[in-house]
Homo-oligomer: A and B are copies of this chain.
Amino acid sequence: MTTARRDTYTPETLLSVAVQVFIERGYDGTSMEHLSKAAGISKSSIYHHVSGKEELLRRAVSRALDELFGILDEEHARVGTAAERLEYVVRRMVEVLMAELPYVTLLLRVRGNTGTERWALERRREFDHRVAALLKDAAAEGDVRADVEVRLATRLVFGMINSIVEWYRPDGPDGRGGTGRQEVVDAVARLVFGGLRKAS
């Protein structure tokens, strides 16, 4: 069993294990020893794949960031009114968060002590600004309310979306696989754009 795992170990499976350990112990609290034990391979085997834990962190948060920035290049994020594009981006953000749950969770917990963490925070801010710009355009086009300041509205909307990592579990008691995911996406879109109040 151990031998089999060793033989089939790929950078991808190592990354997946590392992300779990980073989330459980915190990045600062994780040593190469912890990673070695969790992965069931020796430290030197890990060094065969990566230069150290910071490279694992960089690969993990890159995966989340690439998926998020990828949304902005999709057709529906580029074509249409700003409000339509914004709604598309919000829906896709929720989808990416659920599909890449551990990677996005880790990205949201990054605090900025190492170069990689500061880089990740900078990229997150860049993404936030891109979405805030969309919201600003939608307000200028008259489709989004102008009585909530753009930066504040962006923060609150991101707050709602990002909070999903706190309770969403694909296979847990709160698991919403398949159509369940769609239910979460629709709920967020309805609340973000229409609010709780019933349209009269």
- Is A148 a contact partner of B195 (Cβ separation < 8 A)? no
Q: What is the 8 Å Cβ interface bit string for chain A, positions 41-56, against chain B (1 contact, 0 not)?
A: 0000000000000000
- Is A197 a contact partner of B145 (Cβ separation < 8 A)? yes
Of the stretches A6-14, A71-79, A156-164, the one at the interface is: A156-164
- Is A163 a contact partner of B153 (Cβ separation < 8 A)? no
In Å, the complex CA distance between A83 and B143 comes to 25
Measured between beta carbons, the chain B residues less than 8 angstroms from A188 are 156
- Is A159 a contact partner of B163 (Cβ separation < 8 A)? yes
- Is B152 a contact partner of A163 (Cβ separation < 8 A)? no
In Å, the complex CA distance between A93 and B49 comes to 48
Interface of A is mostly: helix
- Is A152 a contact partner of B194 (Cβ separation < 8 A)? no
Does any Cβ of B come within 8 Å of A190's Cβ? yes
Give the distance to chain B from A6, nearest Cβ to Cβ, in Å.
33
- Is B157 a contact partner of A187 (Cβ separation < 8 A)? no
Q: What is the 8 Å Cβ interface bit string for chain A, positions 165-190, against chain B (1 contact, 0 not)?
A: 01100000000000000011011101
Does any Cβ of B come within 8 Å of A21's Cβ? no
Give 19 A-B pairs besides A145-B190, A156-B191 with Cβ atoms closer than 8 angstroms: A26-B26, A83-B197, A86-B196, A142-B198, A143-B197, A145-B196, A146-B198, A148-B186, A148-B190, A149-B183, A152-B184, A152-B187, A153-B191, A155-B167, A159-B163, A159-B166, A160-B160, A160-B163, A163-B163
What are the 8 A-B residue pairs with the smallest beta carbon separation, nearest first?
A159-B163, A195-B195, A160-B160, A194-B195, A148-B187, A193-B197, A193-B195, A145-B198
